[in-house]
Amino acid sequence: MTQSSMPELARKPSAGFDLKLWGPFLALAGLIVLGTLVNPVFLSPANLANVLTRTAFTGIIAVGATFVITTGGIDLSVGSLAAFTAGVMIVVMNALVGPMGAGMGAGWPVVLVGMLAAVGLGLVAGLVNGLLVTKGRIEAFIVTLGTMGIFRSLVTYLADGGTLSLNSGMRAVYRPVYYGGLFGIPTPVLVFAAVALIGAVILYRTRFGRYCAAIGSNDEVARYSAIDVDRVRLLAFVLQGLCVAIAVILYVPRLGSASATTGVLWELEAIAAVIIGGTMLKGGHGRIWGTVVGAVMLTLIDNILNLTGAISVYLNGAIQGAIIIVAVLLQRGTASKR
């Protein structure tokens, strides 16, 4: 049989405009139009800066969640972990402020130690979650449901049921990390962008990122391809812990406090951002930029509702829910019609 007779089979996945790929971005654009219609203030730089800054916390956490979910896992403990980490960070800084002093000179080292403590705790917590999932062979859902309760409890205990507040001298030093910025862009937004960028590079351009998707798609195949499945899974949880720590480092200077209410339901928000962004809940396919858009969308919906007085406050949740569904319906709908 002659070779020339082989039909041209090559199908290009990139043929034309991929609505499945661009769906989240279109939905975001739709929301922005809606916001502008509701209240022109929406487009003011101050409001946009507010929105993006707020998104930073859950957004950064959601970047981590993208990895965990891509491997086919789930992490319910991130909100509690954020609260616990914030609590520990404050306790550490308050404890150091005595010996090291809170003056402008000595302040930064204390903040740095606090940050290190946060990062350390985040990594350890991720490691614990990851080890229980991989070595303990327990479903990620159950492990992190358990640690969710544990971390939440620990911060309540640490705060004696109340609120842990950062020493006011320290706050003055630390404040710029949240309220400052570069070229008019708030620091949290910059950090969020950096985390997302690094996340995207890791997910799309490194072996680890590929392995995450491979494991989520079919862990047996991954194992057969000589991938250390447990290690990759573990690392995804550790990365998630690191992201939580980074989010907390930005969060603490905002209000300078942590309590049992800190970070409640952040896990749901982070997971929602990831899924809205087009990552599959069952794993196998992760999309960092989608996650970023998903996180921004969720904040935008809140913001838009706050900018209008037209609706009974009781119905805010309903509008939120409806917008989420419609936004995703539109992007899926258009995508499937191709």
Partner 1 sequence: MSSQPVLVADSVAKSFGPVQVLFGVDFNIIPGEVHALVGENGAGKSTLMKILAGYQPPSAGSIRVDGEPVHLSGSGPAEALGIVLIHQEFNLAEHLTVEENISLGREIRRGLFLDKPAMRNRARAALAELNCAVDPDARIRDLSVSERQMVEIAKAVSRSVRVLIMDEPTAVLTGAETEVLFRLIRRLTAQGVGVVYISHKLDEVKAIADRITVLRDGRRIGTHPAELLGHDDIAQLMVGRPMSDLFPTKQPPAPDAPVVLAVEGLSVPGWVRDASFQLRRGEILGFAGLVGAGRTELMEGLMGLRHRSAGTLRRDGQPLRVRTVADAAKAGIAYLTEDRKGKGLLVGKGLRPNLTLLALDRYGRVFIDERKEATALDRAIEEFDIRVKSPDALVGSLSGGNQQKLLLAKTMQVAPQILIVDEPTRGIDIGTKQQIYRFLHDLARRGTSIIVISSEMPEIIGLSHRVVVMRSGAVTGTLSGEDITEAEIVRYATGLKGMKGIPHDPVLHA
Partner 2 sequence: GWAQQKIKMGVSIPAATHGWAGGLNWHAQQAKAKLEKQYPNLEVVLVTARDVGRQANDLEDLVSVRNIDALVILPFESAPMTDPVRAVKQAGKFVTVVDRGLTDPSIQDLYVAGNNPEMGKVSAQFMKQKLGGKGDIVVLRGIPTVIDNQRVDAFQEEIKGTQIKVLGMQYANWNRDDGYKVMQDFLSRFPKIDAVWAQDDDIALGVIEAVKQAGREKEMFILGGAGMKDMIKRVMDKDPLVPADVLYPPAMIAEAMEITAKHLVEKAPIKKEYIIEATLVTPENASKYYYPDSPF
Positions that interact with ligand ATP (CB under 6 A): 7-11
- 163, β-bridge pairs: 259
* Element at 185 (helix H, strand E): strand 185-186
Partner that binds at residue 50, options partner 1, partner 2, ligand ATP, none, CB closer than 5 to 8 Å by kind: partner 2
Would you say 116 or 280 has its CB closer to partner 1? Answer: 280
307 counts as binding partner 2 under rule CB under 8 A:
yes
187 counts as binding partner 2 under rule CB under 8 A:
no
The least distance separating a copy of itself from the CB of residue 274, rounded to whole angstroms, comes to 10
156 counts as binding partner 2 under rule CB under 8 A:
yes
Cα torsion 179, 180, 184, 187: sign: negative
The least distance separating ligand ATP from the CB of residue 220, rounded to whole angstroms, comes to 12
The least distance separating ligand ATP from the CB of residue 285, rounded to whole angstroms, comes to 18
CA distance 134 to 114: 30
147 counts as binding partner 2 under rule CB under 8 A:
no
Cα torsion 36, 39, 45, 51: sign: negative
The least distance separating partner 2 from the CB of residue 194, rounded to whole angstroms, comes to 21
Cβ(280)–Cβ(10) under 8 Å? no
Instruction: For residue 46, give the nearest of 182, 183, 186, 247 by alpha carbon.
Output: 186
Compute φ and ψ for 11, nearest 5 degrees. -100, 125
Single residue of 28, 31, 54, 132 touching partner 2 by CB under 8 A = 54
Single residue of 176, 198, 302, 321 touching partner 2 by CB under 8 A = 302
CA distance 113 to 109: 6
Would you say 133 or 177 has its CB closer to a copy of itself? Answer: 133
Determine the residue type at 179: Y
Instruction: For residue 328, give the nearest of 304, 298, 308 by alpha carbon.
Output: 298
Instruction: For residue 330, give the nearest of 276, 293, 285 by alpha carbon.
Output: 276
Partner that binds at residue 311, options a copy of itself, ligand ATP, partner 1, none, CB closer than 5 to 8 Å by kind: none
Query: Site residues (CB under 8 A) for partner 1?
Result: 1-3, 5-15, 201, 205-207, 210-211, 213-214, 216-218, 220-228, 280, 284-285
Single residue of 32, 50, 94, 204 touching partner 2 by CB under 8 A = 50
Classify 186 as helix, strand or coil.
strand
Partner that binds at residue 148, options partner 2, a copy of itself, partner 1, none, CB closer than 5 to 8 Å by kind: a copy of itself
Instruction: Compute CA distances 313 → 54, 68, 185, 233, 306, whole Å.
Output: 21, 35, 32, 42, 9
Angle between helices 78-100 and 229-255 (to 10 degrees): 60
Partner that binds at residue 142, options a copy of itself, partner 1, partner 2, none, CB closer than 5 to 8 Å by kind: a copy of itself
Would you say 17 or 224 has its CB closer to partner 1? Answer: 224
Bridging pattern class, strands 181-182 and 257-259: unpaired
Query: Site residues (CB under 8 A) for a copy of itself?
Result: 1-2, 4-6, 72-74, 76, 132-134, 136-143, 145-150, 152-154, 156-157, 160-161, 218-220, 223, 268, 271-272, 275-276, 280-283, 312-322, 324-325, 328-329, 332-333, 336
